[in-house]
Structure 1
Amino acid sequence: MNNKTANKQPLLKASHDALSRRAIVHGCNKEVLPLLSLSKANSVQCIYLDPPYNNGDKYNHYEDNLEHEDWLNEMEETLFLFKPLLKETGSVWISIDDNEMHYLKVVADRVFGRQNFVTTIVWQQRTTRENRKVFSNNHEYILVYAKNLNAFSKYRNALPPSEEQLARYKNPDNDPRGPWQSVSLNVQDGHATKSQFYTIVAPNGKKHIAPQGRCWAYNQQRMEREIEEGNIWFGAKGDGVPRRKKFLHDSNLSLTPETLWLGEDVGTNKQAKKHIKELFSDKALFDTPKPESLIGRILEIATNEGDLVLDPYLGSGTTTATAHKMNRNYIGIEVGEHAITHCVERMKMVIDGENGGISKTQSWNGGESFSYYQVKSKSIDSFFEFLGEWPIASSS
């Protein structure tokens, strides 16, 4: 039996509550979003949009050539539709290029309020030079808005420590407490007390005084206790300038997200196209897909495991694939037939253990399930038609 039709069931009643926690919906987002607001209001933690950029080009799966005012009106209407879905801590991330970026920001300011604008991210979407144009355009933008900036700023995650940060921590003396780095023990003496001016005597008898204009960070009694407890480092030979040990296990290492995202860190369009080609070697490719690592960075900052992610322009299914591998819940909406031919088929591969994209960094080996639907009616008791679930649920 064909998996696309084998699981087809009678229309689900009261189906505005029937979408699974991980779902793909085949339909127009302008129809789907108002229906979702009946059960998903204030439930979505992160919305990612990769809308048509309105750059006048013709792509494999859609044409991107609306009149400027028509495009802006359509984007404003869409933004207003999904605003009620956002949690108070939620955020919206919109991919766009130079052609409409500044106009889109004005529209988004109007919808979300200028006070809830978070930042503009510059993404290096290509690393090669384009010699056929006046300038080689190597970047796109991601506009970031919060429903409530203060709430989002408290919820958002910092990024994990870099290899460079971790490399600073070593253990040259085999301290049982683990890796550490040494930090200065002297500070400026402008606000010092008398108790911070004294001579430190190292365990080998060498004496140390603070440099001119500086004093010790601790008073003498505290310093002697720190030395006794093995928290002060005098160098490998014992006669170096005293420094304090800062242990890795006591360090809250994290990185504040920056606004410049390089291709080597979050991937490029070229890498994404290669991944899509590996998944769908016999199908028409998307021209400008986003890499899973780019969406992964967004979800890493904006969400935690179990949070709900929404993508109303699902495209080739990158957002749902990434969210699934990162143990997020999701709803992806796509109007084209590739909702089934690409998005659903891609999710089946993900569940079966597809190993591209972020699979390696997430130690992804497959698992879980998702369901897919199509818009059926605007009737209050029959919004979506259930098309199937993967893996196929047992009938017993």
Structure 2
Amino acid sequence: MLVGDGARLAEAAGDLQELGLGPMGTTQLAYLDPPYNRGGSFNGYDDNMPRHEWLAYIEERLVAARELLAETGTIWVHLDDAEAHRVRCLLDEVFGVEAFIADLTVESNPKGRQLDRFFAGSHDRLMVYARNPDKVVLDGGIAAAVNPADFPHVDSDGVNFRLLPLRNTNKRFNPMTTPTMTYPLYGDPETGAVAVDPGPGKVEILPVFGDLTPAVWRWSRDRAVERVDELVCRTVRGRSGTRIDIYQRDRHEVGRIKKLKTIWLSQEVGSTDTARAELRAAGVDGFRTPKPEALMRRIIELSTVPDDLVVDLFAGSGTTAVAARDLGRRWVVVERNPDTVRDVILPRLGLTGS
């Protein structure tokens, strides 16, 4: 664990080991929440640099972060709209266009900033890139996003499940575009039993859309053979007539996750006001755009597992360190303002020293 001198990062990536950041290429998550370059000074940073200087300042840190990252790691850069599009171009240059994962929208101010000139800004940008897109390890979902109410049925083992159409509901996929995904299955609508081969009491079932035009299955025939026990057939009475359709029993099992949307709402991850309240409860004030703990926990949970190394190159109020510690990750945060280190970060972590 370390809180170091961030000013030296601009000199050379080779200094990182001297700062205690560990061997190069071992960081699973690098997080940057730099000054947004909107003017003024705060928390020891000059936030009114000429654009070319500010971009050079950011680029040096992106290069340093790339050297820190493991092949499986990701970098997350948090900005608002003022410079985000330019920084995304830098990310393309430093990490490669193919390394892009997502450009997330994070609701930071649900009420909207009413003093903004035209529209009441209410969001930040969170850009995510891979160190190596072929080896990256990243969960796009979390267990908390799964709603048990979406699984209303209960099987004989007491596990909740839902029924998903085996038919591909996207009309772009049809017998003309994907002919190998059209094949007959056989089912008994009275019992719900499904088979891949004909049998007594079973009728042939081909995939059709609701208007009875030909469709295709989501599974190949080989996959249907392997997982036929997960299938059930039912009689469906639609506006275009009666048909027999096949469904997959989709079980709500322990450890199941759901992919997150690319818009993260404040009720899920907190807001700037949430973060300020958290800091006030810790006896800290004076930060203009702190990040809420729920947001940092989500980022860390998505991109790391316990004992992975998390690095924050702009520690600020220390929320990344708090979240990483609570989640059992190893962490390093870098902050150039010694007063912030002494008066904010170390007390929040229950540490002493410099």
Determine the C-alpha separation between the residues in 1 that align with 2:88 and 2:41: 24
Q: What does residue 23 of structure 1 align with?
A: 2
Determine the C-alpha separation between the residues in 1 that align with 2:188 and 2:70: 57
Q: What does residue 197 of structure 2 align with?
A: none
Instruction: Provide Cα deviations, 1:211-269, integer angstroms capped at 9, x if missing partner.
Output: 866799899xx99xx8xx8975879xxxx978656252569843334322211211111
Q: Cα distance 1:201–1:101, how it changes in 2: closer, same or farther (>3 A)? A: closer
More divergent stretch after superposition (331-340 vs 257-266): 257-266
One-letter code aligned to 1:268: S
Residue 131 of structure 1, aligned match among 101, 110, 114: 114
Determine the C-alpha separation between the residues in 1 that align with 2:161 and 2:86: 49
TM-aligned CA deviation for residue 146 of structure 1: 1.6
Q: Cα distance 1:70–1:244, how it changes in 2: closer, same or farther (>3 A)? A: closer
Instruction: Provide Cα deviations, 1:73-104, integer angstroms capped at 9, x if missing partner.
Output: 21122222232111111111111122222222
What does 1:265-304 align with in structure 2 at a 5 Å threshold? 265-280=268-283, 283-304=284-305
Aligned partners of 1:29 and 1:334 also within 8 Å = no
One-letter code aligned to 1:270: D
Aligned partners of 1:125 and 1:139 also within 8 Å = yes
Residue 89 of structure 2, aligned match among 103, 106, 129: 106
What does 1:333-344 align with in structure 2 at a 5 Å threshold? 333-336=334-337, 337-344=339-346
Determine the C-alpha separation between the residues in 2 that align with 1:200 and 1:288: 59
Q: Cα distance 1:54–1:246, how it changes in 2: closer, same or farther (>3 A)? A: same
Aligned partners of 1:79 and 1:111 also within 8 Å = yes
- In structure 2, stretches of 5+ residues that fail to align are 169-173, 193-200, 236-242
Instruction: Provide Cα deviations, 1:283-337, integer angstroms capped at 9, x if missing partner.
Output: 5421110111111221122111111011111011011001111111111111111
Greater RCO between the two (CA within 8 Å, min separation 6)? 1
Q: Cα distance 1:215–1:147, how it changes in 2: closer, same or farther (>3 A)? A: closer
Q: Cα distance 1:87–1:241, how it changes in 2: closer, same or farther (>3 A)? A: same
Please give the root-mean-square deviation of Cα atoms over the aligned residues, in Å: 3.7
TM-aligned CA deviation for residue 72 of structure 1: 1.4
Determine the C-alpha separation between the residues in 2 that align with 1:76 and 1:230: 51
Q: Cα distance 1:81–1:199, how it changes in 2: closer, same or farther (>3 A)? A: closer
Aligned partners of 1:26 and 1:334 also within 8 Å = yes
Larger Rg: 1
Determine the C-alpha separation between the residues in 2 that align with 1:312 and 1:272: 19
Q: What does residue 332 of structure 2 align with?
A: 331
Determine the C-alpha separation between the residues in 2 that align with 1:198 and 1:255: 30
Q: Cα distance 1:106–1:270, how it changes in 2: closer, same or farther (>3 A)? A: same
One-letter code aligned to 1:294: L
Q: Cα distance 1:177–1:106, how it changes in 2: closer, same or farther (>3 A)? A: same
Q: Cα distance 1:63–1:250, how it changes in 2: closer, same or farther (>3 A)? A: closer
Q: What does residue 171 of structure 2 align with?
A: none
Determine the C-alpha separation between the residues in 1 that align with 2:160 and 2:187: 30
One-letter code aligned to 2:159: G
Q: Cα distance 1:247–1:199, how it changes in 2: closer, same or farther (>3 A)? A: closer
Q: Secondary structure at the match of 1:320?
A: helix
Determine the C-alpha separation between the residues in 2 that align with 1:252 and 1:305: 16
Aligned partners of 1:266 and 1:294 also within 8 Å = yes
Q: What does residue 159 of structure 2 align with?
A: 178
Aligned partners of 2:153 and 2:160 also within 8 Å = yes
Instruction: Provide Cα deviations, 1:139-196, integer angstroms capped at 9, x if missing partner.
Output: 11122222112211xx111312456643222346x73342222344778997766x74
Q: Cα distance 1:171–1:61, how it changes in 2: closer, same or farther (>3 A)? A: same
One-letter code aligned to 1:258: K
Aligned partners of 2:146 and 2:256 also within 8 Å = no
Q: What does residue 246 of structure 1 align with?
A: 249
Determine the C-alpha separation between the residues in 2 that align with 1:305 and 1:230: 34
TM-score scaled by structure 1?
Answer: 0.67
TM-aligned CA deviation for residue 107 of structure 1: 2.4
Q: Secondary structure at the match of 1:151?
A: coil
What does 1:159-198 align with in structure 2 at a 5 Å threshold? 159-161=141-143, 165-171=147-153, 175-184=156-165, 196=185
Q: Sequence identity of aligned pairs in percent?
A: 24
Residue 259 of structure 1, aligned match among 251, 256, 262: 262
Determine the C-alpha separation between the residues in 2 that align with 1:333 and 1:263: 27
What does 1:154-233 align with in structure 2 at a 5 Å threshold? 155-161=137-143, 165-171=147-153, 175-184=156-165, 196=185, 200-202=189-191, 232=232
Q: What does residue 66 of structure 1 align with?
A: 49
1:44 aligns with 2:27: yes
Aligned length: 313
